[in-house]
Amino acid sequence: MLRDLLRSVPGLFCPEETHFYRWGQPYRTPQYRRQYLKNKTLEHHRELDGIAEEEVIELFERARSRREFTDGYLALYLEKQGAPADARWFDKTPQNVFGLSLMAHDYPVSRFVHIFRNPLNVVASLKVGKVMSLPDPVAAANYWRESVVIAESYRASHPDRMLSVSYEDLTHRPVTEVDNICAFVDVATPASDELSGVKPEANQFENVLDADEIRLVRTITESVVAEYGYNFEKF
């Protein structure tokens, strides 16, 4: 949702999810090569970006680091998009949070927007699996917990570089929250009509998770969930 809103800003471009910083294996190791180049989902993303596999492989073999590979890919992507010389790009890959420290080092003037959401709705969404399927509630709850712990730890030490935004606030007050996000990353605010399609969060978990699953998510996330303003006492 936020990616599409920001894509509407003139001169601002975003490829499909790249996953460049997702994996812990060092760049161009056999494990990284397999995870990135042998991934059908990412092949589809590159196809949507208009970049051929031969071009990706050439970039991959030439680059000496994730930073070089990322820069090469984004330069090629912007060229394919006919972007102006002063275009700016951003990436929307949630799993890149697992490489946040390295990404922040490689791009020292970058800024990060961390959108967090009620873990019960995150687990319910993963269980339904329309975008990403993760039916095991333990795995899904830890996906939320580990991600927010990493993001919040970084924000605590670098508050000038990371903005944390509640998904519930974003969907209930899109104009205010998007204004704040755009000011933080120093880009123009999308036109008001672009925000008209934003729908308030619905508590999907109420129809998807049973009582045992709710208790399980609560147990796994309880050490950090209160920091985000969620109260599970009533469940």
What pLDDT digit, counting tens, does each position of 5-30 carry? 999 999 999 999 999 999 999 999 99
pLDDT of 197 reads: 83
With beta carbons less than 8 A apart as the criterion, state whether 63 and 72 touch. Answer: yes
116, pLDDT greater than 80: yes
Q: How confident is the model at residue 192 (pLDDT cuts 50, 70, 90)?
A: confident
Q: What angle do CA 117, 151, 90 make, to 5 degrees?
A: 85
Report the alpha-carbon distance of residue 172 to residue 202 in Å, rounded: 10
Pick the CATH number of 111-235 from 3.40.50.300, 3.40.50.10490, 3.40.1190.20, 3.30.499.10: 3.40.50.300
User: What is the distance between the alpha carbons of residues 148 and 229, in angstroms, rounded to a whole number?
Assistant: 13
Contact by Cβ (8 Å): 154, 162: yes
The pairing of beta strand 162-166 with beta strand 112-116: parallel
Residue type, 213: E
CB neighbour list of residue 35: distance below 8 Å, 6 or more residues apart: 23, 25
Burial of residue 14 (number of CB atoms within 10 Å: 0-12, 13-18, 19+): buried
- Rounded Cα gap, residues 66 and 127, in angstroms: 32
Domain locations in the chain as residue ranges: 11-99, 111-235
Per-residue confidence (pLDDT) for residue 216, from 0 to 100: 95
